[in-house]
Amino acid sequence: MNWGYKLLFVFFAFGAMMSYMVFRCMQRPVDLVEKEYYRDELVYQDKIDGASRANHLSSAVKLIQDPGELVLLFPKEMKSAPVLGSILFYCASDSHNDKKITLDLHGEIELRLRKNEINPGKYTVKIDWECQSVHYYTEIPFSIT
C-alpha cells in the first residue's frame, strides 16, 4: 500500500470517528439549570439580596435527615409571623428528580417532609421565603440517602 492510500485511510478514519462523536453527543439529553434561564437571570439580584438578609439572621436554615423524614428548621426570628415561599430540591444530574414544595408556615419554625416523596441523590435545596414582607433566600447542598 503506498502513502496515498494510507493518507486516504487516515482521513476516512478521522471522519468516521468525528461522525460517531457527533452522533453520540446528539443522543445525550442536555438539561438547562432552569427552564426559564433568561427570565430568572433578570431577577437574580433579588436572590443575592435575599441571601444577604438570610446570612444576617441569628442562625442558618438547617435541613436534617431523619430515618423517615426530612426536617427543615428556620431561625427563631421566623416564629412570630407567617412564613410563605417555596422549597426546590434541584438535582443537577437529572431534572426529573426536581421537586418543588410550597412553604406555608404560621407561627412554626419547623417543617417536616416525607422522605419517600423525594428520590435519593445529590440535591441543591433552594429555599425562597418571605416573612413580615422581607424576602430571604438560601441554598443548601444536600444528599438524600
- Model confidence, pTM: 0.74
pLDDT, residue 115, reads 86
Write out the three cell numbers for 128: 425562597
CA separation (Å) from 52 to 12, 60, 89? 57, 11, 21
> 83 and 134: one domain?
yes
> 81 and 113: one domain?
yes
* Count of structural domains, the chain: 2
Owning domain of residue 86:
37-144
75-109 pLDDT tens trace: 888 887 888 999 999 988 888 888 999 988 887 88
Task: Give the CATH number for residue 131.
Answer: 2.60.40.10
> 140 and 98: one domain?
yes
